Structure 1
Amino acid sequence: MKEEKKKIQTYFSITLGLLVLSLVYTLSIMLIDVRPIGPQGSVVGFAGMNQYFHTLLSTNMGLYDLTDWLSIPVLLIVPGFAITGLVQLLKRKSLRRVDSSILILGGFYVLVFSVYLFFEFFVVNYRPVLIEGVLEASYPSSTTMLVMCIIPTAILQFQRLISHKNLRSIINAFCGIYAGLMVIGRILSGVHWITDILGGILLSTTLVMLYYSADQWINSKAHQNHKQ
C-alpha cells in the first residue's frame, strides 16, 4: 500500500516537473534571441537556431498536406473512445460503472483541446511560411501535440481493452511507429519552427503524464475501496 502511494506521488512529481519545464521553455521562446525572421516581419524566439534548421530543412508542402491528412485517423480515435464509454454506459446503466480510465480520458481530451485553443489565441510564434497567404500560429505544433497526446493514451487504453496479447502488441507497435513518422514528417515539412515541434512534444508529454498519474491514482483508490 505504501509502495503504491509512493509510486503515485512520484508520477505526480514528474508531472509537476514537466509542467514547470514546459512553462520555462515557453517563456524562454518568448524572451531569448527574439528577432523578426518570419514572414511579414513576424518575430521568433531562439531565432538563430530556428533559422538554421528552417534553412537546412526548407519547406515541403506535399509532406505538410500528407501529415495533415494522416492526422485525421488519429483524431477519429477520440470519438471512438467516446462511443466505447457510451456503450458501457448503456450496458451498465450507470455513469459510475463506466471504466474510470475512459472517464478520465474524456477529461483529458477536453484539457488537450483547451490547451490547443489557448495557443491559437495566445500566439507565441507564427509559422515560418504562409499557409494559403495567411500567417498562422505555430507554437506548439498542434499536429505534433495532438498526435503525441492521443496515440500514447490510446496505447494505454488498448493495454486494458484488447485481451489478445499478440494483437495488442501489433496494434500498439503500429501506433507507436505511426506517431513517430507523423512527428518526423512534420519536422521535415518545414511548416513549423523546430522549437514549435519540440514544444509540442514537451507539452504533450506533460499532459500524457498528468493523465497517467490521475488514472493510476483513481485505480489505486478503487482497489482500496474494493478491499474494504
Structure 2
Amino acid sequence: MKKQRKNFVITGGLFLLFILWTMAICYVDVQMIGPRDSAVGFATFNEFFHNLTGTHMLIYVITDWLGLLPVSVVLGFAILGLVQLIKRKNLFKVDYDILILGGFYIIVFTTYILFEVFAINYRPVLINGYLEASYPSSTTLLVMCVMPTAIIQMNKRIHNEKVRKVVKYAILVFTSLMVIGRLISGVHWFTDIIGGVLLSTSLVMFYNSINKSLE
C-alpha cells in the first residue's frame, strides 16, 4: 500500500512539474523570435540552442517515419485486445492491463489533440510553409509514452529472460535515439522536448501506478 501511494505521489509530482514548466514557458523571457514573429518562452536560451544545433530536415524526416513504429505498437496491442474480446465475448474478460493500456492511449492522443488546438508556442521553422504547434514535442510524447509502456507489457508477456532483456534494451535505445534526434533536428525548441519528456514521464508513471494498484 505504501509503495502504491508513493507511485501516485511521484505521478502527481511529475505532472505538477510539467504544469509549472508550461506556465514558465508562457511567462519567462517571452520574445517574438519564431517564424512570423511567433512568441517563444525562454527565448534567449532557446534561440542559442537552436542556432547551436541548426536545422536538419533529414533527421526530422527520419524521426517522423520512425514515429510509425510506436503507432504500430499501439495497433498491435489494440488488435490483441480485440482478439481477446472476440474470443471471450465480454469486455471485462479482456486482460485488465490491456484495458488500462487502451485507456492510457486515449489519454495520450487526447493530450496530443489538446496541445494542437491550444498551442503554447510554434516550431522554430515552417513546415511546408505552415506554422505548426510545437509544445510539447508530439513525437517525444508519442515515443516516450508508447515505448516504455510496451516494456511493461513485454515484461509480463515474454517469459524468456534473455529475449525480454534484448527487447527491453532495444526499446530503450530506440526511444533515446528518437528523443535525441528530435532535439538536434532543429524542428522543436529545446523547451518543447523537455515538456514532452515531463508530460510523458508523468503519464507513464500514472499508467504504471494504476497497473500496480490492481495487481
Which category of TM-score, normalised to the shorter sequence, fits these structures?
Answer: over 0.9
Q: How does 1:1-228 map to 2 (within 5 A)?
A: 5-219=1-215
Counterpart residue number, 1:226: none
1:19 CA drift (Å): 1.1
Matching residue's letter, 1:195: T
Question: With structure 1 as the length reference, what TM-score do the two structures score?
Answer: 0.93
Counterpart residue number, 1:222: none
Matching residue's letter, 1:134: Y
Which stretches of structure 1, 4 residues or more, deviate above 6 A after TM superposition?
A: none
Q: Secondary structure at the match of 2:30?
A: coil
Larger Rg: 1
5+ residue gaps, structure 1:
220-228
1:152 CA drift (Å): 0.1
Matching residue's letter, 2:29: D
Distance 1:154 1:85 in 2: 14
Matching residue's letter, 1:8: Q
1:95 CA drift (Å): 2.0
Q: CA offsets, 1:58-106, max 9 Å, x none?
A: 0000110000011101111011001111222223332222111110000
Q: Secondary structure at the match of 2:45?
A: helix
Q: Secondary structure at the match of 1:19?
A: helix
5+ residue gaps, structure 2:
none
Aligned sequence identity (%): 53
Q: CA offsets, 1:178-200, max 9 Å, x none?
A: 00000011011000000000100
1:218 CA drift (Å): 1.7
Question: With structure 2 as the length reference, what TM-score do the two structures score?
Answer: 0.98
1:139 CA drift (Å): 0.2
1:22 CA drift (Å): 0.7
Q: How many residues align?
A: 215
1:164 CA drift (Å): 1.3
Q: Secondary structure at the match of 1:33?
A: coil
State the Cα RMSD in Å.
0.8
